[in-house]
Amino acid sequence: MGTRRPLVAGNWKMNGSRAESATLLDGVKKGVSSAFRAEVAVCPPFILLPLAAEKLAGSGIAWGGQNLSVHSAGAYTGEVSGPMLKDYGCTYVIVGHSERRAFYSESDTLVAEKFAAAQNAGLIPILCVGETLQEREAGQTEAVVARQLEAVLDKHGIGGFKNAVIAYEPVWAIGTGKTATPQQAQDVHRFIRGRLAARDKAVAENTRILYGGSMKGGNAGELLAQPDIDGGLIGGASLQADEFIAIGRAAG
């Protein structure tokens, strides 16, 4: 992890009633110690952001969105903009999650536009990259991750990463219970940092690269011990306060 402050962020995806979410937020708030070195954040569905804002204000725990529009306002039925997320106190927004790329046809170009829309609204994008099982087995992991990353770098330059987080999420590890080994993850994280370093060494050194994919309390320690893994983007385990807190604790 080096000197970078770890970030443990929960991606709740499309889960949680208002009552369940209130209980979860209370549990997370109670369990997250100010002694944690890690920064902790939750990304609930849009409709639960006011509740997160109400519960977490002043707690030191941050919150964010899971997606945003490329537009800031206007006739875009069903969309939510960066300025709206900012208005509800969001610090972060996830951009280019593999579920958005796969189920909602988000292209590298669109993801790069969303990355900029987030920063223009004063939000910190958490840019997700990662290969499918088929791509890994075809030896294309680095090529795919490089393509996803360079789409943003080419559009916004390395300066865009002065205030951004990257999440490496191998698609085959998401929601499958099949975690990347610490070495598999470290190899890709080092590769990503190398791509940033080719443009600017200081930015590469300061950028947090999170791992995501079946991370839980029991496997977080060995993943987070890797030199280029700076935290986690947690799906399933972020819906259980105890598991999520255990990951935060493992991050130091």
Please give the residue ranges that form the binding site for ligand 13P (CB under 6 A). 11, 97, 169, 174-175, 212-215, 233-237
**Amino acid present at 159:** G
Nearer to ligand 13P, 203 or 213 (CB): 213
Q: How far apart are CA 97 and CA 129, in angstroms?
A: 7
- State the nearest-atom distance from the C-beta of 173 to ligand 13P, in Å: 6
Q: Specify the DSSP class assigned to residue 243.
A: H
123, 119, 115: which is closest to 90 by C-alpha? 123
SS3 sequence, 197-217?
A: HCCCHHHHHHCEEEECCCCCH
Nearer to ligand 13P, 43 or 204 (CB): 43
Catalytic residues: 97, 169
Burial (0-12, 13-18, 19+ Cβ within 10 Å), 236: buried
Q: How far apart are CA 44 and CA 12, in angstroms?
A: 5
- State the nearest-atom distance from the C-beta of 168 to ligand 13P, in Å: 11
Query: Which residue's CB atom is positioned nearest to ligand 13P?
Result: 235
- State the nearest-atom distance from the C-beta of 178 to ligand 13P, in Å: 9
CA 229 → CA 16, 92, 184, 188, 222, distances in Å? 29, 19, 11, 10, 10
Nearer to ligand 13P, 11 or 207 (CB): 11
Nearer to ligand 13P, 107 or 176 (CB): 176
- Residue 238 gets the label, from left (phi > 0), alpha (psi -120 to 50) or beta, of alpha
CB 18 within 8 A of CB 252: no
For strand 62-65 and strand 208-211, is the pairing parallel, antiparallel, or unpaired? unpaired
- State the nearest-atom distance from the C-beta of 199 to ligand 13P, in Å: 26
- State the nearest-atom distance from the C-beta of 177 to ligand 13P, in Å: 8
Q: How far apart are CA 235 and CA 99, in angstroms?
A: 12
Nearer to ligand 13P, 42 or 61 (CB): 42
